[in-house]
Amino acid sequence: MVILRAVATYLEAIRQAIREEMRADADVFVMGEDIGAYGGAFKITEGLLEEFGEDRVIDTPISEAGIVGAAIGAAQMGLKPVCEMQFIDFIAPAFNVIVNFAAKVRYRTGVGAGLVIRGPCGAGVRAGPFHSQNVESYFANVPGLKLVAPATVRDAKGLLKAAIRDPDPVLFFEHKYLYRRLRDELEEGEEFLTPLGKARTHRGGTDLTLVTYGAMVHTAQAAAEQLAEEDGAEIEIIDLRTLQPLDSAAILESVKKTGRLLLLHEAPRFGGFAGEVAALVCEQAFEWLDTPIRRVAALDTPVPYAAELEDAHLPQVADVVSMARLQLSY
């Protein structure tokens, strides 16, 4: 007997995670702008209002600070809010309440704020400078926050379920370019968690370690396939999945094996997360390196609207291949 498994997109995996957690736990609820009758800007919350009602699917005013502030209060009363930012760029008005209260409340009072703030990040969809940012580095310097950036359909579901159950604030960065482009076998109701703080070896290799996360995992994969075919090089790709807490052991283990490290992220180069990973390896595995550490990242500019300019701004497969070849030439 052949069992046919359902195929879900990255977007549908996120919806599954939310729906399943709401079904399993009456304390879980969602809130955000236009998430009820409209189903959210990208339709992630479509159908939730009909199933769970207005008490658990709350359309809010256009006030990100108000959304997160109310969620923190609800979390401290034992509820489990999942807040949607229509675009992750709009998290900026809530920056103060996130970093100066949500992140510090457990340290200050002993009572944490178990909430999830999720939303679409990233470029590549011609959305321009106000709807295309990657904001992870803004928050990586704040103790008390967990930062998650799934790259696959299964991780989008498993990591979000783990985030909703976590007792402290989690920022969940969904790359909008992946929403309807990625598909995988995934049954609704299939119960699994992807633990926070554990990286994943996306591709094994022995010649070079490439550390990345989010949509850039797929750019790295395409580059690795090209290098294998044209150069005979085997690139190991480490998908961080969680930026905080960071799986330092996975990074160091891979670097000790390959002796080379290339870092890739979509955010601008200066002050980007790659700098922290480079510092980690320099401090704890410098003697294992055979070459200098290299980075591939976006240009230090806002994300352009024009397609040609956006492509020039973002890391491309050719950029990764070129930098990897420089590493491998040593």
- What does the pLDDT look like over 259-298, one tens digit per residue? 999 999 999 999 999 999 999 999 999 999 999 999 999 9
Token readout for 191 is 């119960």
pLDDT in tens, 136-170: 999 999 999 999 999 999 999 999 999 999 999 99
Query: Does the pLDDT of residue 310 top 60, yes or no?
Result: yes
> How would residue 3 be classed by pLDDT, with cut points 50, 70 and 90?
very low
Mean pLDDT for the stretch of residues 199-222 = 98
Question: In angstroms, rounded to a whole number, what is the distance separating the alpha carbons of residues 185 and 153?
Answer: 9
Query: Does the pLDDT of residue 83 top 80, yes or no?
Result: yes
Query: CATH number of the domain at 200-328, out of 2.60.120.10, 3.10.20.600, 3.40.630.40, 3.40.50.920?
Result: 3.40.50.920
Residue 189's pLDDT is 87
Of all residues in the chain, the percent with pLDDT exceeding 90 is: 96
Spatial neighbors of 96 by CB under 8 A, at least 6 apart, are 65
Of all residues in the chain, the percent with pLDDT exceeding 70 is: 98
Looking up tokens 């955000």 gives 32
Mean pLDDT for the stretch of residues 220-241 = 98
Looking at the annotation, which residues are catalytic?
131
Neighbours of 202 (CB within 10 A): 20
Looking up tokens 């340290």 gives 107
Query: CATH number of the domain at 7-185, out of 3.30.465.10, 1.20.1560.10, 3.40.50.970, 3.30.2350.10?
Result: 3.40.50.970
Neighbours of 5 (CB within 10 A): 10
Question: In angstroms, rounded to a whole number, what is the distance separating the alpha carbons of residues 153 and 151?
Answer: 7
Neighbours of 200 (CB within 10 A): 20
For the chain, give every domain's residue range.
7-185, 200-328
Domains 7-185 and 200-328 share a fold: yes
Mean pLDDT for the stretch of residues 88-92 = 97
Taking phi over 0 as left and psi of -120 to 50 as alpha, with beta for the rest, 121 belongs to: beta
CB 63 within 8 A of CB 97: no
Query: Does the pLDDT of residue 253 top 50, yes or no?
Result: yes
Question: In angstroms, rounded to a whole number, what is the distance separating the alpha carbons of residues 74 and 53?
Answer: 18
pLDDT in tens, 17-59: 999 999 999 999 999 999 999 999 999 999 999 999 999 999 9
> How would residue 5 be classed by pLDDT, with cut points 50, 70 and 90?
low
Phi then psi for residue 209, to 5 deg, are: -95, 125
> How would residue 89 be classed by pLDDT, with cut points 50, 70 and 90?
very high
For residue 237, give the 3-state DSSP assignment.
strand
Q: Please report which helix (H) or strand (E) contains residue 77, including its range.
A: none
Question: In angstroms, rounded to a whole number, what is the distance separating the alpha carbons of residues 182 and 54?
Answer: 31
The DSSP-derived string for 7-26 is EEEHHHHHHHHHHHHHHH-T
- State the virtual CA torsion across 14, 305, 301, 313 in degrees, nearest 10: 80
Residue 2's pLDDT is 43
For residue 121, give the 3-state DSSP assignment.
strand
Question: In angstroms, rounded to a whole number, what is the distance separating the alpha carbons of residues 312 and 108?
Answer: 45
The DSSP-derived string for 128-179 is -TTS----HHHHHTSTT-EEE---SHHHHHHHHHHHHH-SS-EEEEEEGGGT
Query: Does the pLDDT of residue 75 top 60, yes or no?
Result: yes
CB 82 within 8 A of CB 30: yes
Residue 187's pLDDT is 86
More confident residue, 189 or 147: 147
pLDDT in tens, 101-148: 999 999 999 999 999 999 999 999 999 999 999 999 999 999 999 999
Name the amino acid, one letter, at 181: R
